[in-house]
Structure 1
Amino acid sequence: MVQPQALTRIIDTYFRDSERTMSVAAGTQVLRQNDYNDKLYWVKSGELSGYLKHDEQGPSAKVFVVKEGMFFGVHSFFAQTLMATTTVVAEKDSEIAWIDLLTQPVEPETYGSLAEQFMPVMVHELARRQMLTGIEALEKEKALQKLYSSEQMRTLGQLAAGIAHELNNAIGVISSKTENIQTDIMDFVSAIKPEMLPFLQHGINVGQTGGSQQVRERAKVLMKQYHLPREQAKTLARAIPEGEVPAPWLTHLDEALRYWDCGRDLRDMRLAAKHSASIVKSVKQLGGSDHVRQPDVDINETLHKSLALLQSNLRPVEVILRPAVLPPLMASSTELVQVWVNLIKNACDAMEHTTAPQIEIVTRHVKNKILVTITNNGPMIDEATRRQIFNPNFTTKKGGLSFGLGLGLSIVQRIIQSYDGSVVVKSDEERTTFRIKLPII
């Protein structure tokens, strides 16, 4: 920092005398609170701190730091109290210079009395200390906000633990009953419609693998190739996303598609129950990081699982998936599915009133990082909302079936940060994009 000319003259005139300069080792107490002091000190190098005590038995608090080019002893010297208001201790090996009450003004006829000459010192010192105090206040505020957020997360974790217990019971019932229903349906079909069993099993074992855009493109081909109605062609495209359609499907197409659709729904129910249980566990561990991570997790596969879980939400939405060839990641598949489900579900909610809603998901591999962007063409998120969007208690969903606890994006951020990654949101009138970076370890 370039010093004002007057301040430079003061230092060169009064603080360059080697007889009034000394070295102090780290830990040295230069001034003691309430002790006599008739000196004004200038820090030539090093760093010292001032500590204040309210009483002899009470704790001390650091109230200021003086570094190279700064002054201390200002109050006792210029206010003529001759009593140190703080205890000043060298934090590092330092070199300090001083003047005392016997110091005579230099060139008083030009620059005035000692007090007049040192006015720039007092103003400069006040400004610097005010700036440092402001910085320290900001750091304390950040620490308090972090503590407050930590307390919130602990409270939410305790709340989630109780909710998770009840949800786990319900999910357990859904999972077991789905398995029972699947077994009963397969037995029933095997007995009365054995020729339909392969289509049911295809739905149960494979389900729907293609996205909405792929289904639309495939349906157009099937309509021309087999002269099918649009809706029938779309359902067939979901069941057979590529290649030739086997002859048995075409023999009894309506029935075959109904049984496949039933099998797909059973599969989706099983997957949803499984992932719901994992998501409940993640919410229960809201403040923790004890998830088991496995090697060789495929990011693209976790995105496909998320899209499969959200099929009902995505029916009116055009989904464009642009996956790149990605290296495997040491990760928890459940955690990543939870991230994508939250982001995609939020995008669907945001586009509720959007004409021709669209979600584009792009994955890339750049410089030891995996990048995932999830973009929707819904309304712009205003700046005030963007600043709060990852707060654990913030939500824009107020009533009806769109109510929210404000936990989704907070959990997303917590999970991504646990991988030393980052998640940011950009939004304008045309699109909103969530950008996730995950380092490859």
Structure 2
Amino acid sequence: MNNFAIVCLDDDPLVVECLNNELAPFAELFDIYSAFSTDDAQRVLADISTQHQRVAMVICDHELGTDSGVEFLISLDQYPVTQQARTVLINDKPQLDNIVQAVNEGRLHYCLTKPWNPHELQQVLIKELTNFILKYPDEDWLRYSQLLDHRRILNAHIENQMSRFRSGFIRDTSTLDDATLAKQVSDALHEFFALNDESQACRTYSKQHVLTQEGEANHFLWFITEGEVALYKNDEHQCQHEVVKVGPGHLVGGMSFVTGERSFSTGITLCKTSVIKLDRTLFNRVMNSKTDLLPLFTNLLLRNFNRRLQGSIQTELRLQQTLTSLDNAYHQLIEKEKMAMLGQLVAGVAHELNNPVSAILRGSDTLKQTISKLTNTPLSHENQIRGNHILEQAMESRPLSTSEARQRARQLESILGDRQQARKVVQMGIDSADYLENWLLPQKKQLGPLLNEWDNYYQMGNFLRSINVCAQRIADLVKSLKSYARQDDETLHCVDIHEGLEDTLVIFENKLKRHRLIKDYAPLPELCCQPIALQQVWTNLISNALDAIDQEPGEIRVTTRLVSTSNNTPAIEVEVKDNGKGIQPDQQKKIFELNFTTKREGNFGLGIGLSVCQQIIHQHHGNIRVDSEPNRYTKMIVTLPLDNAI
């Protein structure tokens, strides 16, 4: 049975069960009690009082049938076991008047809205239970440090110990500087062991002698009098790193010696080093024999703890600053790669824009002349209506191939008796039997001038269709380039991955038209991702595929498929394959390294494209791999799981 308890009060058993599950990590140090009504809760509080426990926290629902959770929280002051308890009120939706009432009564510390985030509840528990524990200075705070806010508890423990020792000391050592305090302790210890050192506490070690071993039990306290000791810590890969160096006047093994925990670090002498080695028995004998040494040594020990704590905090702050700098550098690297690629793309897009712009300019000049001809046409009203039909049809139809147009004109020439007229009729798309019977043959005598007038309608429709196609082409190019160049959006969007691939292919159309492009798309569900970041991946892969092709025309195949990963997770796979020069086996392992490039001298390549691609894909919990055979092909295969949020 623990000294303190947590009480959960809710009339919904499912909510109580959920609370018990989330409180499970705290059950080792706090007994968990559940209640389904205020009467039930009062019986629980009575049992807690009988067992001489105190309530650390009450988690209460606002609505408890006919009772009010707020009123129950306010009534807690009448129970001695709950007077210091922290309180959390659970609401189905925020109710400001109830919250204000509980706050005004001083019995509400936090308000939680259903459904709550488990991470939020964990933070509330750690904060509020730490506040509660620190109100009991006689409690063993270190026992709670691993579960609750260890920094606050450790700081409070140190401060509490400092106050406790100072209050009982005859001498006040707080005015002494570190060097003076260390010398007084050293002199007092040497004086004690000068005549009584059968335990050989005063020792001298050679270089590379191990004092403490990380993760192993430690039963000694080393006080350094001469020399230097380095403290080392292993990382997750078991690589040893130096944490700090300490010299005369410092203690080694202090924390594990006092708490009984395993050594936090490995202490190794860096040179010939003299120490005073104390076990618990010898430490007690020294302190009991020299009462004037106890305040000095205790103050020195606490100062060592405080320096280590301050050092840890400073190290963590520097680490956070370093991580922030690395994150900024990473984003700058991605942006640099994107802008470098953008410079390449702009030249190709500018060239590609020239053709549709020229077509629009030519079409607009021709339209100026044609409009005046239509407004002054000698055609009858009926033939003008037919001309409008030809215009509308020309705006929607696609041009015939030369061979098909020639074949249909030959067939019509025998009917009309004129090759040129037959060609015009086929071109305008009015060569079907219905048009012949109703439009052409009844007016065969004046068909030449009539076709010339209708040709103006056809040309206007044709030019309008051409202008519309060219304008759409320009819009597609600008959209794709703008999508690639815009700042990365770090929010998630559920998109069809084919849209990003198509936008990328539009950007490269100027180069792709010299090769054979094969698109093999499978039906795919939408992917929750950062589409702009992924478009940078597709851009790099398509660009690399184009650069790898030595002889034109080459072949580039873009394939998408739905697959299952090794752990049966559904995923989207995107494969970009080229029939270029391939990648040598010894280079395939290096292509994702920063600053590595396979591009020949004279070809643009920063050597960061695939490295950035890999990082972006890893952020999506996916992977990228290469399959290549020199002088035959290269496949870049990207796998993106469907059910992994970033």
TM-score (norm 1): 0.48
Higher relative contact order (CA 8 A, sep 6+): 1
Structure label with greater radius of gyration: 2
TM-score (norm 2): 0.35
